[in-house]
Amino acid sequence: MNFQFSPEQELIRKAAREFAEEVVRPRVQEMEEGQYILDDLFRLMGEVGFLGVLIPQEYGGTNLGTLGAVLVVEEISRISAALGTGLQVHCLGLLPVVKFATPACKEKYLPGLATGKYIATGSITEASGGSDPTTMSTVAVQDGDSWVINGRKCFITLNKTANTTWVTTCTKEGKRREFTTFFVDKSMEGYKEGRLENKTGMHGLDNGEVVFKNCRVPDTNVLLGVGRGLPVALTAIGRMGRMGMACAALGTIQASLEAAVKFANERVLYGRPIAYLQGVQFKIAEMAYLLETSRLLVYKAAWLTDQNMPDAELAPKVAMAKYVATQSAIKASDLAVEILGGYGVVREYNTERYLRDARMIWAAAGTGDIMQLTVAREALKLK
């Protein structure tokens, strides 16, 4: 057993931390004030190779694997969970192109996805309920050598910033509905963003509707195959999306702990820093182990992903990591707010932002309940 990152992985973390501190930190305030500045930050993330972390080198990526992506998303989320989530969703959006696209589709999109010319997302959730995607009403109908998509997706991260998305549609009605996932870009007529949601946290990160109105997509943009659309979406979510949200959680826990430690060492009550109060120490200790346990689970799940563990076996490992990291982020940021006393809810101290951001993670890429079900199903050996 070896719990050490390789020197290369240490450097990946260093590169991400440097970017987060120097490029992202000065922009957080703007994002908090509701400015959508992600175009700009995405361009800069493209310059340092973050956008291509899952893209093979022959297509212009850096191909540093799931662990590489995890380190980058975690470090960016330490400064901005909103941008960390934006980056992970881009990775979730392009992963099916890497894994399942036709050679023509790969040639066309992957080099641009690595630099930021194309920014990707994934679209499956509909108003009918994200936990049960089989009830979706978006449809695609074949017409010659292309398909015509009609429907409306909701809660789509980067709905405005992204100019490409995979979209899962129903392509055969009946007792057993069939689904197909396509890769579409905004130059195709009929694909555009809809309304933006006004969210609790992760301000500056766009999230909202994506609308398809007679959107015509060529055959070559079918991912994996007609009728195999759900596995495409589940691979993207299971091999990146859930892990990525768990990394947003890791960054949030780390940031909460740092803020709490700084405050506890500086705030003097009864003649000594409050770090000497046992009640405060217990909270700090709890935050420290929430961080450590979450990290161990997330890094292990990422490592298993890189070992090519099949989707079905991997799902409960990832679900456990996402569940624990999410609950830990909610708990740790809440504790940080408490340790800061009144300052905990003052905006310039950031801890209230961590709590609002942590709350955003629970439903994204599958709710906590769905994570529990996935873990339980394996533990109970249910089919």
Partner 1 sequence: MQPLQIAICVKPVPDPKESTQLQINPTTKTLVRKGIPLVINPMDRNALEAGVKLKEANGGKVTVFSMSPPEGELTMLETLALGADEAILLSDLIFAGGDTLATARVLAAGIKAQGNWDLVICGAESFDGGTAQVGAQLAVLLGTPWITRVSHLKRVDDKHLLVTVEDEVEQRELLVQLPVVLTVESVVNQARPLSLWGIVEARNKKITVYNADTLKLDQKGIGLDGSPTQTRDLFAPDASREAEILTGDSPQQIANQLLDKIGWSRKGAAN
Ligand X SMILES: Cc1cc2nc3c(=O)[nH]c(=O)nc-3n(C[C@H](O)[C@H](O)[C@H](O)COP(=O)(O)OP(=O)(O)OC[C@H]3O[C@@H](n4cnc5c(N)ncnc54)[C@H](O)[C@@H]3O)c2cc1C
The CB-of-374 to partner 1 minimum distance in angstroms stands at 31
Count of residues of this chain found to bind partner 1 when the rule CB under 8 A is applied: 24
Residues 217-256 that bind ligand X (CB under 6 A): none
> Does 244 engage in binding with partner 1 (CB under 8 A)?
no
Residue 268, interface with partner 1 (CB under 8 A)?
no
Question: Per CB under 8 A, which region of 45-53, 149-157, 176-184, 279-287 contacts partner 1?
Answer: 45-53
- Provide CB contacts within 8 A for 174, sequence distance 6+: none
DSSP 308-332: T--HHHHHHHHHHHHHHHHHHHHHH
Using the structure block, give the residue that is written with the tokens 């490029």: 23
SS3 182: strand
Tokens of 76: 């960016």
- Of 93 and 344, which CB lies nearer to ligand X in the complex structure? 93
Stretch that binds ligand X, among 63-71, 273-281, 296-304, 357-365 (CB under 6 A): 357-365
Q: Which does 155 bind (CB under 5 to 8 A by kind): ligand X, partner 1, none?
A: ligand X
- Least spacing, CB of residue 267 vs partner 1, in Å: 17
- Cβ proximity to ligand X: between 66 and 125 the closer is 125
Q: Which does 162 bind (CB under 5 to 8 A by kind): ligand X, partner 1, none?
A: none
SS3 content of the chain, % helix, strand, coil (to 5): 60, 15, 25
CA dihedral 199, 87, 234, 321 (to 10 degrees): -80
Is 125 or 161 the residue whose CB approaches ligand X more closely? 125
Contact pick of 67, 330, 360, 371 for ligand X (by CB under 6 A): 360
Q: What angle do CA 307, 254, 28 make, to 5 degrees?
A: 105
Beta-carbon contacts of 292 under 8 Å, excluding residues fewer than 6 positions away, are none
Other CB atoms within a 10 A radius of the CB of residue 103 amount to: 8
Q: How many residues does the chain have?
A: 383
Q: Does 89 bind ligand X (CB under 6 A)?
A: yes
Is 125 one of the binding residues for ligand X (CB under 6 A)? Answer: yes
Report the residue number, 141 or 268, with the smaller CB distance to partner 1.
268
Report if residue 58 touches partner 1, rule: CB under 8 A: no
The reply on whether position 77 binds ligand X by CB under 6 A is: no
Residue 52 interacts with partner 1 (CB under 8 A): yes or no: yes
14 contacts partner 1 (rule: CB under 8 A): yes
Whether the CB-CB separation of 113 and 97 falls below 8 Å is answered with yes
| Residue 197 within binding range of ligand X, rule CB under 6 A | no
> Using an 8 Å Cβ cutoff, are 205 and 164 in contact?
no
Whether 51 contacts 42, CB under 8 Å:
yes
Residue 129 binds to ligand X (criterion: CB under 6 A): yes
| Residue 121 interaction partner, one of partner 1, ligand X, none, beta carbon < 5-8 Å per kind | ligand X
* Closest-CA residue to 329 (of 245, 238, 261): 245
Q: Which range of residues in 7-15, 150-158, 260-268, 289-297 is near ligand X by CB under 6 A?
A: 150-158
Residue 42, amino acid:
F
CA-nearest of 120, 117, 101 to 232 is 101
Q: Which residues bind ligand X (CB under 6 A)?
A: 89, 121-125, 129-131, 153, 155-157, 207, 360, 363-367, 369-370, 373
